[in-house]
């Protein structure tokens, strides 16, 4: 409300007495006063853009790290094809690192679920609460016993009441009776111990028909599955076995015959992993090199609000494209990261070999491009890579995954596999980018990076300057208002004098 009144007061003295365009004069004066603020806002915008560029680089390295992660551990090369000579009896897959290429398996026995002791009445009730005397086929009272405990059943009983009687007398012995979920005429006797041998026996009185049509007198424990693999006998509670990195699902017994499992490395799958890794690296360095080589147009600073008002959207877009260009040109952090990666790939892994031995080179050997002129790009001789994976997959795996054992860091680096080296280098640059520009998804208020702190410092300076500029503008308005009032009084005095002189002459 104060600002509105003040604004109204300003319009009351806009040159009526002095003939001056007060609004325009103050606007021009403030334009000069705001030049330092414009520079601060431009610096802030450039820092904001620079942070976005660093974070985009961070995202690129983070995405590349996922490709590296697929090859830095031996599990990344544990990709196998398995062929079973009898899929109807046994199927398998590799879940680890098998030590052999051939396994002989005999399926001796399949797993079976245990059976509970149970009894089914030969009369039919409509629901568990119906009296037996009302049931179709009821033939009269009868007696049965469970584990020597006798139970009398009359026409007033129901399936529910019989279950209650059973549970009252059998609870302490560890058994419980239940109504079968699929047949209300059947009572099932269960025990927490699947290997218990609860027995149901039926005693029939003279002149009574057998009133238990279906009888399974004992609990039968579950049967384990059994196989013999390469002479080793294994058992399992289910029809699934895991042995020496192989998971097997047995489906039927083989009757003394054996099923042969042939294990081989999946050359195509490993080849595609290595190829994807190389392509991801080439894509990464191409984008980083492009950013490092961008032209810097210093004559295109960020636009001020006033300048933006004078341009079209297309003009603004073209201007900002140049203003944003080259903000991380030749950045030392990123340049050093690319140099480290080139070294990771180019250096021999001591005790194992060199990347070129499997058909991967830094720089194109065909056209003679050096690794520096070509930005460190990797090239693949696909035939040579496939041959290496097929003939000696462990050599390829060790070239990427072996761990250095030396205490000396320099010696340990030379012994470390390529994917492990690259993974460490990528982690290092990601950490440095986080410190410089914050995490890619960081909120501004939670960004404690170097640029984040610089932006907060600029925000404070901008706020302070905006307050000072408001005070300066207010002072200008007070000064011009005072001038207007003084001129108005002077004009009034002149008018009075002129009127007095006119009356004297008259």
Q: DSSP readout, 27-68?
A: HHHHHHHTHHHHHHHHHHHHHHHHHHHHHHHHHHHHHHHHHH
pLDDT for the residue 483: 81
DSSP 477-495: HHHHHHHHHHHHHHHHHHH
Evaluate whether 388 touches 302 at the Cβ level (below 8 Å): no
Q: How much of the chain exceeds pLDDT 70, in percent?
A: 85
The mean predicted confidence, pLDDT, of the chain is: 84
Evaluate whether 221 touches 113 at the Cβ level (below 8 Å): no
Token pair, residue 455, equals: 């932006």
Q: Tell me the three state secondary structure of residue 389.
A: helix
Evaluate whether 406 touches 419 at the Cβ level (below 8 Å): no
pLDDT for the residue 506: 56
Cα(368)–Cα(348) distance, rounded to whole angstroms?
Answer: 20
Q: Tell me the three state secondary structure of residue 332.
A: helix
Backbone phi and psi for residue 217, each to the nearest 5 degrees, phi listed first: -75, -20
Cα(170)–Cα(145) distance, rounded to whole angstroms?
Answer: 11
Nearest to 140 by CA among 215, 214, 216, 206: 206
pLDDT for the residue 1: 34
- Lowest-confidence region among 86-95, 247-256, 426-435, 480-489: 480-489
pLDDT for the residue 430: 96
283 pLDDT tier (thresholds 50, 70, 90): very high
pLDDT higher than threshold 70 for residue 175: yes
How confident is the model over 178-200, as a mean pLDDT? 69
- Lowest-confidence region among 114-118, 318-322, 406-410, 462-466: 114-118
Residues pairing with 81 in the sheet: 264
29-81 pLDDT, tens digit per residue, is: 888 888 888 899 999 999 999 999 999 999 999 999 999 998 999 888 989 99
169 pLDDT tier (thresholds 50, 70, 90): confident
pLDDT for the residue 215: 52
Q: Tell me the three state secondary structure of residue 104.
A: strand
pLDDT for the residue 102: 96
pLDDT for the residue 324: 93
Residues pairing with 136 in the sheet: 124
DSSP 385-397: HHHHHHH-HHHHH
pLDDT higher than threshold 80 for residue 172: no
pLDDT higher than threshold 80 for residue 360: yes
pLDDT for the residue 474: 87
How confident is the model over 18-27, as a mean pLDDT? 76
How confident is the model over 136-151, as a mean pLDDT? 80
471-505 pLDDT, tens digit per residue, is: 888 888 888 888 878 877 887 777 777 777 777 76
Backbone phi and psi for residue 330, each to the nearest 5 degrees, phi listed first: 55, 35
Backbone phi and psi for residue 45, each to the nearest 5 degrees, phi listed first: -65, -40
Residue whose tokens read 């007398």 = 169
What are the residue ranges spanned by the domains of the chain? 2-33+452-505, 68-73+269-442, 80-112+223-265, 117-216
Cα(111)–Cα(195) distance, rounded to whole angstroms?
Answer: 15
Of residues 205 and 492, which shows the higher confidence score? 492
369 pLDDT tier (thresholds 50, 70, 90): very low
Angle at 153 between CA 148 and CA 156, to 5 degrees: 155
Evaluate whether 218 touches 198 at the Cβ level (below 8 Å): yes
Token pair, residue 350, equals: 């001591």
Token pair, residue 503, equals: 């009356």
Cα(418)–Cα(225) distance, rounded to whole angstroms?
Answer: 45
Evaluate whether 485 touches 22 at the Cβ level (below 8 Å): no
Q: How far is CA 403 from CA 78, 320, 355, 357, 417, in A?
A: 17, 48, 16, 19, 6
pLDDT higher than threshold 50 for residue 12: no
DSSP alpha helix (H) spans, 248-379: 267-292, 305-309, 313-323, 332-346
Of residues 435 and 192, which shows the higher confidence score? 435
248-259 pLDDT, tens digit per residue, is: 999 999 999 999
Token pair, residue 161, equals: 């009441």
Three-class secondary structure assignment of 191-226? ECCCCCCCEEEEECCCCCCCCEEEEECECECCECEE
Residue 448 Cα to chain centre, angstroms: 24
pLDDT higher than threshold 60 for residue 208: no
Helix (H) or strand (E) holding 428: helix 418-437
Cα(47)–Cα(454) distance, rounded to whole angstroms?
Answer: 8
pLDDT for the residue 199: 55
236-249 pLDDT, tens digit per residue, is: 988 999 999 999 99
**At the topology level of CATH, where does 117-216 sit?**
Alpha-Beta Plaits (3.30.70)
124 pLDDT tier (thresholds 50, 70, 90): confident
Evaluate whether 93 touches 240 at the Cβ level (below 8 Å): no
216 pLDDT tier (thresholds 50, 70, 90): low
The burial class, CB within 10 Å (0-12 / 13-18 / 19+), for 118 is buried
Of residues 489 and 104, which shows the higher confidence score? 104
Q: Any idea what DSSP says for residue 450?
A: H
How confident is the model over 95-111, as a mean pLDDT? 93
432 pLDDT tier (thresholds 50, 70, 90): very high
Strands 186-191 and 90-94, by their bridges, are unpaired
How confident is the model over 452-463, as a mean pLDDT? 90
| Count of residues making up the chain | 506
Cα(506)–Cα(496) distance, rounded to whole angstroms?
Answer: 15
pLDDT higher than threshold 90 for residue 401: yes
- Lowest-confidence region among 121-125, 266-270, 288-292, 326-330: 121-125
């Amino acid at each position: 409300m104060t600002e509105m009144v003040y604004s109204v007061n300003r319009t009351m003295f806009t040159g009526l007495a002095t003939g001056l365009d007060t609004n325009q004069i103050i606007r021009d004066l403030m334009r000069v006063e705001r030049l330092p603020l414009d520079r601060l806002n431009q610096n802030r915008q450039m820092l904001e853009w620079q942070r976005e560029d660093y974070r985009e680089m961070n995202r690129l390295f983070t995405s590349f790290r996922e490709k590296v992660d697929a090859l830095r551990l031996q599990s990344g090369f544990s990709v196998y094809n398995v062929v079973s000579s009898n899929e109807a009896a046994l199927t398998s897959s590799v879940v680890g690192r098998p030590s052999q290429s051939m396994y002989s398996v005999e399926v001796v026995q399949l797993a079976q679920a245990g059976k509970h002791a149970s009894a089914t009445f030969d009369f039919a009730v409509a629901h568990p609460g119906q009296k037996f005397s009302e049931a179709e086929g009821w033939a009269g009272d009868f007696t049965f016993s469970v584990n020597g405990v006798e139970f009398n059943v009359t026409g007033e009983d129901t399936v529910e009441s019989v279950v209650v009687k059973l549970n009252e007398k059998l609870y302490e012995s560890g058994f419980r009776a239940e109504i079968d979920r699929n047949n209300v005429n059947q009572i099932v006797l269960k025990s927490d111990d699947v290997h218990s041998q609860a027995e149901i026996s039926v005693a029939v009185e003279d002149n009574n028909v057998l009133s238990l049509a279906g009888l399974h007198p004992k609990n039968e424990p579950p049967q384990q599955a059994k196989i013999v693999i390469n002479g080793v006998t294994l058992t399992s509670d289910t029809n699934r076995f895991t042995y020496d990195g192989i998971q097997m699902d047995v489906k039927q017994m083989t009757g003394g015959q054996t099923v042969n499992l042939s294990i081989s490395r999946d050359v195509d799958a490993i080849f595609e992993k290595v190829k994807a890794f190389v392509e991801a690296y080439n894509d990464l360095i191409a984008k980083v090199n492009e950013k490092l080589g961008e032209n810097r147009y210093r004559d295109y600073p960020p636009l001020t609000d006033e300048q933006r008002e004078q341009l079209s959207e297309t003009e603004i877009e073209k201007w900002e494209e140049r203003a944003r260009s080259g903000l991380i040109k030749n950045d030392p952090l990123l340049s050093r990261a690319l140099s480290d990666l080139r070294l990771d790939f180019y250096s021999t892994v001591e005790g194992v070999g060199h990347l070129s031995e499997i058909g991967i080179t830094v720089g194109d050997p065909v056209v003679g491009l050096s690794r520096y002129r070509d930005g460190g790009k990797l090239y693949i001789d696909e035939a040579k890579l496939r041959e290496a994976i097929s003939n000696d997959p462990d050599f390829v795996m060790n070239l990427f995954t072996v761990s250095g054992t030396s205490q000396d860091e320099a010696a340990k680096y030379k012994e470390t596999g390529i994917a492990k080296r690259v993974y460490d280098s990528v982690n290092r640059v990601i950490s440095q980018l986080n410190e410089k520009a914050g995490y890619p998804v960081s909120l501004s208020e939670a960004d404690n990076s170097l640029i984040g702190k610089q932006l907060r410092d600029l925000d404070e300076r901008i706020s302070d300057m905006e307050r000072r500029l408001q005070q300066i503008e207010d002072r200008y308005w007070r000064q011009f208002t005072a001038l207007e009032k003084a001129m108005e009084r002077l004009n009034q005095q002149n008018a009075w004098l002129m009127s007095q002189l006119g009356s004297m002459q008259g």
